[in-house]
């Protein structure tokens, strides 16, 4: 039994496979929040509202991205599914997880001096921008994909690097703590849109390459009617279009919040 999805030499089968490492990740994320609420929640603090549901939704997205069938399909058979995983890990789950954590819990998490320093540094837009895009480019290099995705530990490392990079990327935009001096809305919008362009580089390579870039997917047992190059082109389009759609969608939301805050100055302090 495998604990995390990795590339395999066997033909694809639609027979369900358990991945205990994925379940453990889900249990830790849910359990940690439940314990935090039980032991750390202020007696007269802010209401949870819908945050718990948003957080659970973020965990569910991670579960879907990592578990069968998307996990093993993406790890060893289809680059397009691997890119769907990337989008879910880096663009969908992190905003939900950050939005789903109440402010008192975020403050509790950064209470230790070292944690505050890390949060402060990672909240700087340039640092977050560099972290995210270095991870993006590194994890799409052929040597990394072909080398790491073949092992469970390597595949786990890639998935977690996407999640962590996604949390770092979204934190300057959605991290609401005033003590970390978040960017004003115009700055957040510019930051988001600047990040649309970097993924264009790997996306363009995937979309326009004459031959398959990754040996792993080119030499994987075929499981669909797609050729390796068609699969690669779909991956490039997912990376560019779906990732861009999410970024522009959230930039639009920020724009309207900004406009709203101009009309109601109280809201602008969020």
Q: What is the binding site for other proteins (CB under 8 A)? A: 9-11, 210-212, 215, 218-222, 227-229
199: left (phi over 0), alpha (psi -120 to 50) or beta: alpha
Of 166 and 212, the one with the shorter C-beta distance to other proteins is: 212
Of 228 and 247, the one with the shorter C-beta distance to other proteins is: 228
Of 19 and 214, the one with the shorter C-beta distance to other proteins is: 214
SS3 at position 265: coil
Helix or strand holding residue 26 (H, E): helix 20-40
Rounded distance between C-alpha atoms, residue 185 and residue 191, angstroms: 10
Nearest approach, Cβ of 233 to other proteins (angstroms)?
Answer: 13
Nearest approach, Cβ of 218 to other proteins (angstroms)?
Answer: 6
Nearest approach, Cβ of 9 to other proteins (angstroms)?
Answer: 7
Positive or negative: CA dihedral 159, 163, 164, 170: positive
Q: CA gyration radius for the chain?
A: 20
Of 192 and 234, the one with the shorter C-beta distance to other proteins is: 234
Of 59 and 220, the one with the shorter C-beta distance to other proteins is: 220
234: left (phi over 0), alpha (psi -120 to 50) or beta: alpha
Angle, vertex CA 249, rays to CA 232 and CA 173, nearest 5: 105
Nearest approach, Cβ of 200 to other proteins (angstroms)?
Answer: 23
Nearest approach, Cβ of 80 to other proteins (angstroms)?
Answer: 16
């Amino acid at each position: 039994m495998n604990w995390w999805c990795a590339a395999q030499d066997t033909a694809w089968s639609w027979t369900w496979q358990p991945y205990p490492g994925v379940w453990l990740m889900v249990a830790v994320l849910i359990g940690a929040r439940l314990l935090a609420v039980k032991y750390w929640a202020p007696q007269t603090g802010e209401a949870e509202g819908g945050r718990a549901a948003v957080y659970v939704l973020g965990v569910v997205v991670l579960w879907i991205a990592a578990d069968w069938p998307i996990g093993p399909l993406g790890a060893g058979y289809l680059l397009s599914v691997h890119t769907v995983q990337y989008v879910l890990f880096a663009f969908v789950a992190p905003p939900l997880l950050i939005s789903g954590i109440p402010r008192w819990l975020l403050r509790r998490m950064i209470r230790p001096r070292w944690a505050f320093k890390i949060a402060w540094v990672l909240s700087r837009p340039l640092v977050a921008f560099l972290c995210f895009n270095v991870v993006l480019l590194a994890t799409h290099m052929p040597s990394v994909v072909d080398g790491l995705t073949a092992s469970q530990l390597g595949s786990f490392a890639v998935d977690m690097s996407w999640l962590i990079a996604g949390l770092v990327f979204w934190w300057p935009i959605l991290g609401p703590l005033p003590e970390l001096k978040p960017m004003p809305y115009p700055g957040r919008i510019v930051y988001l849109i600047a990040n649309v362009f970097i993924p264009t580089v790997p996306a363009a390579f995937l979309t326009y390459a004459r031959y398959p870039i990754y040996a792993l997917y080119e030499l994987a047992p075929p499981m669909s009617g797609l050729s390796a190059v068609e699969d690669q082109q779909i991956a490039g389009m997912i990376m560019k279009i779906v990732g861009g759609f999410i970024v522009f969608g959230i930039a639009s939301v920020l724009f309207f919040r900004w406009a709203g805050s101009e009309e109601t100055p109280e809201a602008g302090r969020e």
